[in-house]
Amino acid sequence: MFHKEGHKIILITLVLVVATIFAIDYLVQLEWLRKTLMLSVLAVFILILQFFRNPKRHTHANEKQALSPVDGKVVVIEEVFEKEVFKDKRIQVSVFMSPINVHVTRYPTSGKVTYSKYHPGKYLVAWHPKASEENERTTVVVENGSFGKVLYRQIAGALAKRIVNYAIVDQTVQQGADSGFIKFGSRVDLFLPLDADIKVELNQKVKGGESVIAEMK
C-alpha cells in the first residue's frame, strides 16, 4: 500500500522510467552499458516506491501512553524550554527519519487538536541544532486527559521540500491515525510533560503508531 501523497509522484516517475528505458534501449549500443543504465533507472523507481509505502500499523490505543509519531531513530532525549506554545520546560524526544524510512506521521495520542500551525523556513540538515526553529516545519498540539497537551513538530530536512499536515484545530483525533507526511528525509520532535516516564533510549529504532515513547506515571 502506498500513501496518497505519493500517488502522483509514483505515476509521473513510472512514465519517466518507461520512457527512459525505451530511450536507453534505442540509443545505447553497448550491451553492458545498456543493462547497467536500465537497472539504475529501475533502482531509482524502487526507492521512490519504498519511500511512499504506507504499511498497516497495529496501534493499541492507550490514553496513558504517547506513541512514536514516525519511524526512525531516537536522536534527542532532553529537557528543553519550548517557546512557541507552552513557553515552559518540556521533555523533548526527537526521531530522525532517513530517506528509506516510512514517512507517514501519526498522532502520538488521542484527543482534541488545540493548535496547528505551518512555518515556512530553511532546509538545514534535520539533525542541525537550529533545524527545529529555522527549517520548514509544522507544530501540532493534541490534548487528552492523561498527558494534558502533547506537542509534536514535523521538521523538514535537507532533502524535504514539502510537509503535509492534516491536523485541524478542534478536531478529535485517534492515536496512531494518519496526521500527515514529510517528503524525502526529516525529523519529528515530541514535547512531553516533565513528569512523563520516557520509555526509549538514544539511538533506539522506533515505529510510528506502535513504539511507546512515554507513559504517565
Helix (H) or strand (E) run with residue 40 in it:
helix 31-51
Give the C-alpha separation, 46 to 49, whole Å: 5
The answer to the question of residue 58 being in a domain is no
Same domain, 208 and 101: yes
**pLDDT band per the 50, 70, 90 thresholds, residue 181:** confident
Domain total for the chain?
A: 2
For residue 213, what are the contacts with CB-CB under 8 A and spacing of at least 6?
65, 66, 67, 68, 93, 108, 190, 192, 198, 199, 200, 206
- Phi first, then psi, for residue 176 (nearest 5°) are 85, -10
Query: Distance between CA atoms of 97 and 35, rounded to whole angstroms?
Result: 32
In a domain, residue 125? The reply is yes
In this structure, the answer to whether residues 111 and 166 fall within a common structural domain is yes
Could you tell me which residues are beta bridge partners of residue 198?
214
Q: Please check whether residue 188 is in contact with residue 208, taking contact to mean a CB–CB distance below 8 angstroms.
A: no
Q: Is residue 56 part of a domain?
A: no
Cell of 163: 510537509
Residues 34 and 112 in one domain: no
Give the pLDDT confidence score for residue 48 in this predicted structure. Answer: 81
pLDDT confidence bin for 141, thresholds 50/70/90: very high
79 within a domain of the structure (yes/no): yes
Question: According to the model, what pLDDT value does residue 76 have?
Answer: 93
* Least trusted range by pLDDT, from 55-59, 91-95, 121-125: 121-125
| Model confidence at 160: pLDDT above 60 | no
* Residue 193 and residue 136 share a domain: yes
146 catalytic? Reply is no
Q: pLDDT tens for residues 3-18?
A: 787 688 889 989 999 9
Residue 192 has pLDDT above 80, yes or no: yes
Cell numbers at 134, concatenated? 529555522
69 and 28, same structural domain?
A: no
**126 has a pLDDT exceeding 60:** no
Domain that holds residue 140: 65-216
> Average pLDDT in the 145-174 region?
87
76 and 26 co-located in one domain: no
Do 37 and 73 lie in one domain? The reply is no
For residue 204, what is the domain's CATH number? 2.70.70
Q: Which of 68, 116, 132, 186 is catalytic?
A: 186
Whole-number mean pLDDT of the chain? 88
Q: Are residues 161 and 115 in the same domain?
A: yes
The verdict on 102 and 171 lying in the same domain is yes
59 found inside a domain = no
**Whether 111 and 202 share a structural domain:** yes
The reply to whether 38 falls in a domain is: yes
Q: Are residues 194 and 92 part of one domain?
A: yes
Whether residue 8 is found in the same domain as residue 92: no
Mean pLDDT throughout 161-174?
90
pLDDT value of residue 1: 79
134: pLDDT confidence band, cut at 50, 70 and 90?
Answer: low
Residue 200: which pLDDT band, with cuts at 50, 70 and 90?
A: very high
- For the segment 72-109, what is each residue's pLDDT rounded down to a tens digit? 999 999 999 999 999 999 999 999 988 788 889 999 99
19-46 residue pLDDT tens: 999 899 888 889 889 899 999 999 988 8
Residue 149 belongs to a domain: yes
Please check whether residue 116 lies inside any domain of the structure.
yes
